[in-house]
Amino acid sequence: MKLLTLVRHAKSSWDDPSLADLDRPLGERGRKDLPVMAPYAAARLPPVELLLCSPARRTRDTALAFAAALDYPAERIAFEPGLYEAPGAALLRLLQRQSGAVGHLLLVGHMPGLGELSRMLCGGPDDKFPTCAVLHMCLMIDGWSELQADCGELLWYQTPKRLG
């Protein structure tokens, strides 16, 4: 059995239209949601053995907040260019290449890929996987190379709005 946690980046800012999408920082709501969601997740998750993150600024900032809450060393965050704008099928292929020694992987990424991947693996969530949402599932596999559709079971899913 493997564990997979999916985190959508916190809300980003659109204040500077001259910035490339990769360079957009967190917005005010994102900066408010992270101090709530990262500790919430950290209190409910087992130790993370690998944290994969898209190279976009908003995902980096989100990953750093989660790493701090999880006591995961920031220098061990793996920034994967292939996570940026990746559809669910590409995320699945990237996960299939991970070491079998990793028991719990946390992935910080983007929509629509995270939503596609979560529906593919565990059938949820039905919503739009809002910013800073966290989904945790167990996977009925022994190694990441075995990852396939419908091999997951949703353990819990939380959004900033639900936490109030």
Positive or negative: CA dihedral 56, 133, 160, 75: negative
pTM of whole model > 0.95?
Answer: yes
How many whole angstroms separate alpha carbon 56 and alpha carbon 30? 14
d(CA 94, CA 83): 8
C-alpha span between 126 and 31 (Å, rounded): 25
Domain definitions of the chain by residue range: 2-10+21-98+110-163
Kindly report, residue by residue over 132-156, the tens digit of the pLDDT: 999 999 999 999 999 999 999 999 9
- Over residues 72-88, the mean pLDDT reads 96
Question: Using CA of residue 155, residue 160, residue 162, residue 164, what is the dihedral sign?
Answer: positive
d(CA 99, CA 122): 21
19 three-state secondary structure: coil
Distance in angstroms (rounded) separating the CA atoms of residues 160 and 164:
6
**Tokens 């669910």 identify what position?**
88
**Architecture of the domain made up of 2-10+21-98+110-163:** 3-Layer(aba) Sandwich (3.40)
Q: How confident is the model at residue 91 (pLDDT cuts 50, 70, 90)?
A: very high
